[in-house]
Amino acid sequence: MNRQINTNQIMEKSKAKEINLKELFEVIKRRYWIVVVLTVLFTIIGFVYSTASTTLLYQSSARIIINADSEEQKTLLVIMKDPTIMEKVVKELKLQTTPEALAGQITAQSINESKVVSIGVTYADPEMAAKIANTTAKVFQAEIPNIVDFNDVQLLSEAKSVPYPINDNRSKMIMIGLVFGVVAGVGLVFFLESLDESVKSKDDVDEFLGVPVLGTISKMNKKNLKKKNRSKKEAELKG
């Protein structure tokens, strides 16, 4: 007996859940254009914001060989970013920046504690990033003998332009805008539904008037009219 009661309760809950899901779907279906409009709008906003607020940066690096011990190499790497070297790079490339600012865009480090040194540059233009790295290597190689009487520097590989930004988060912002648009659209649909007091179904009639519904009139659209005419013709042929 108890098992039968439990089975009936489960079936009633399942039926109620199915009805609720249908009602929710119908609510969204009635105003689906709101969800579409807000989704498109917030996706565009995400794209525009990410494009306007983010300056795309590119990286490029050249490699040189410094035949010196680790302590001497550390001194040479500090000199590489000194204004004495940076000023010549700025003048040669005619950059609209200061030697100090340019030094902040350059990294110089030994690769795996070897004598190979990578000169990395982060810049808003991929071609200029490669030019700065190569020019820094060339100026350093030419000027270091005059500064510390050291001339054992060799160019291992030149920097090349890499057309892929390192901070491109536009796709992420677009996805955030899309998801936010869907959520906002669905939320607005249900909010408007809660304010709408018009009667849309026989359940609403039962709830507001407290009287049973004897029948309903179907919507008169083209599909229903065609179906009605077809049934009428079939009835006439049979008669």
- Is residue 211's pLDDT more than 80? no
pLDDT at 25 (0 to 100): 82
Tell whether 152 and 228 lie within a shared domain.
Answer: no
**pLDDT level of residue 198 (50, 70, 90 thresholds):** low
Tell whether 153 and 203 lie within a shared domain.
Answer: no
Q: Would residue 49 count as lying in a domain? A: no
Query: What is the share, in percent, of the chain residues with pLDDT greater than 70?
Result: 74
Q: Would residue 44 count as lying in a domain? A: no
pLDDT at 215 (0 to 100): 56
**pLDDT level of residue 55 (50, 70, 90 thresholds):** confident
What angle separates helix 83-93 from helix 126-148, to the nearest 10 degrees?
130
Q: Is the dihedral of CA 132, 134, 135, 139 positive or negative?
A: positive
What is the chain's mean pLDDT, rounded?
81
**pLDDT level of residue 54 (50, 70, 90 thresholds):** confident
Q: Would residue 238 count as lying in a domain? A: yes
CATH number at residue 95: 3.30.70.1130
Q: Would residue 205 count as lying in a domain? A: yes
Tell whether 139 and 211 lie within a shared domain.
Answer: no
**pLDDT level of residue 16 (50, 70, 90 thresholds):** very low
Tell whether 78 and 149 lie within a shared domain.
Answer: yes
Q: What single-letter amino acid sits at 217? A: I
pLDDT at 5 (0 to 100): 47
Query: What is the share, in percent, of the chain residues with pLDDT greater than 90?
Result: 43
Q: Would residue 53 count as lying in a domain? A: no
pTM beyond 0.75: no
Q: What single-letter amino acid sits at 205? A: V
Tell whether 68 and 148 lie within a shared domain.
Answer: yes
Tell whether 63 and 153 lie within a shared domain.
Answer: yes
pLDDT at 118 (0 to 100): 95
Q: Domain ends where: 123, 157, 191?
A: 157
- Is residue 222's pLDDT more than 90? no
Q: Which residue has the higher pLDDT, 32 or 228?
A: 32
Instruction: Give the DSSP per-residue string, the chain.
Output: -HHHHHHHHHHHHHHHHHHHHHHHHHHHHHTHHHHHHHHHHHHHHHHHHHHHH----EEEEEEEEE-S-HHHHHHHHHHHTSHHHHHHHHHHHT-SS-HHHHHTTEEEEESTTSSEEEEEEEESSHHHHHHHHHHHHHHHHHHHHHHHS---EEEEE------S-S---HHHHHHHHHHHHHHHHHHHHHHHHHH-----SHHHHHHHH------------HHHHHHHHHHHHHHHHH-
Q: Would residue 106 count as lying in a domain? A: yes
What is the span of the domain harbouring residue 216? 199-239
pLDDT in tens, 153-195: 999 999 999 999 988 777 888 899 899 999 998 888 888 887 7
Structure tokens at 24: 């929710």
**pLDDT level of residue 14 (50, 70, 90 thresholds):** very low
Tell whether 151 and 237 lie within a shared domain.
Answer: no
pLDDT in tens, 100-115: 999 999 999 999 889 9
Tell whether 149 and 96 lie within a shared domain.
Answer: yes
**What's the domain count of the chain?**
2
Q: Domain ends where: 157, 181, 213?
A: 157
Is 64:155 a contact under the CB 8 Å cutoff? Answer: yes
What does the alpha-carbon distance between residue 101 and residue 106 come to, in Å, rounded to a whole number? 9
Q: Would residue 97 count as lying in a domain? A: yes
Q: Would residue 186 count as lying in a domain? A: no
Question: In the predicted model, what is the mean pLDDT of residues 60-67?
Answer: 94
- Is residue 130's pLDDT more than 70? yes
Q: Domain ends where: 99, 132, 157?
A: 157
